[in-house]
Structure 1
Amino acid sequence: DNINQVIDKLFEILPEGKAYYDVESLTDTNTRDVAGEMVREQLFRLLGDEVPHSSAVFVESYKDNLEKGLTSIKMNIYVERDSQKGIVIGKGGTKLREIGENARKEIEELIGNKVFLELHVKVMKNWRDNIKDLKKLGYIVD
């Protein structure tokens, strides 16, 4: 109850500023990065507690073909151990297929275009402890 009073008071006293983004903008992050986060979201939703926290998603390529109404996206899912790679892929590729299908649907809804999503799972040992790997994956910016 008190928090609402504080919020109301702040709206009364704060001056209205200029808009930094278009009203239609959902985020200031580019679509390529949002697509990667949608794949990462599926890792958290569909896998146990351990694997998602030691995984990273890197968008290798993102190409729009407006004539065909198709966006082609290639991503690598990095994990730290071979055993985690097997968990992400699942028996006969079923888990990776489910991750890809769910993410593809979300990306298509976001961009309003058909999406061809290619996912690869790779082992990058101890990437969370390696500055070079963290930079490659976009977690550290020079």
Structure 2
Amino acid sequence: HKLVDDFDTIIIEKINAFEMRKCSFSMNKVQNTGKNKRLALIKPYELSKIVESLVNKQNKTLIKVDPYKTSQVEYGTEYEEKHELRETNKDGKRIYISAYSGKEVDRDYNAALNIKEWGLHPEKHVKLRDYPKLKASSLVEII
């Protein structure tokens, strides 16, 4: 409720359970088991439907963004790099050191910034660069 109550436009990544789980497969088996058990409690489709219902009841806007390379493209640049998922900093945040800027990048925060940017400006989505025949409007779903 807090998310929807406080904002007029909500932007989320259009992601399914398989995509959420596949990112944990590169971690060790103990982490995998615990993470997958927690993810099993959170069904992305159901969470998305709850958010969608709240948005509709409050007459607000929900934008779902294609998840293509949201964490691989360094926000604010066109630089793209596949990163090891197991790199974390001392706080346990998933990070990588950018080969482009040399800075430590919080993988999840970087993805969130890209989701927001591409949700508001789908013509900037990196998928259009890789698949030029796509239309920007096909990369977002506005509810």
**Which range, TM-score by smaller chain?**
under 0.3
Structure with the higher strand share, 1 or 2: 1
Which is higher, the Rg of structure 1 or of structure 2?
A: 1
Structure with the higher helix share, 1 or 2: 1
| Structure having greater relative contact order (Cα 8 Å, sep ≥ 6) | 2
Q: TM-score, normalised by structure 1?
A: 0.27
Q: TM-score, normalised by structure 2?
A: 0.27
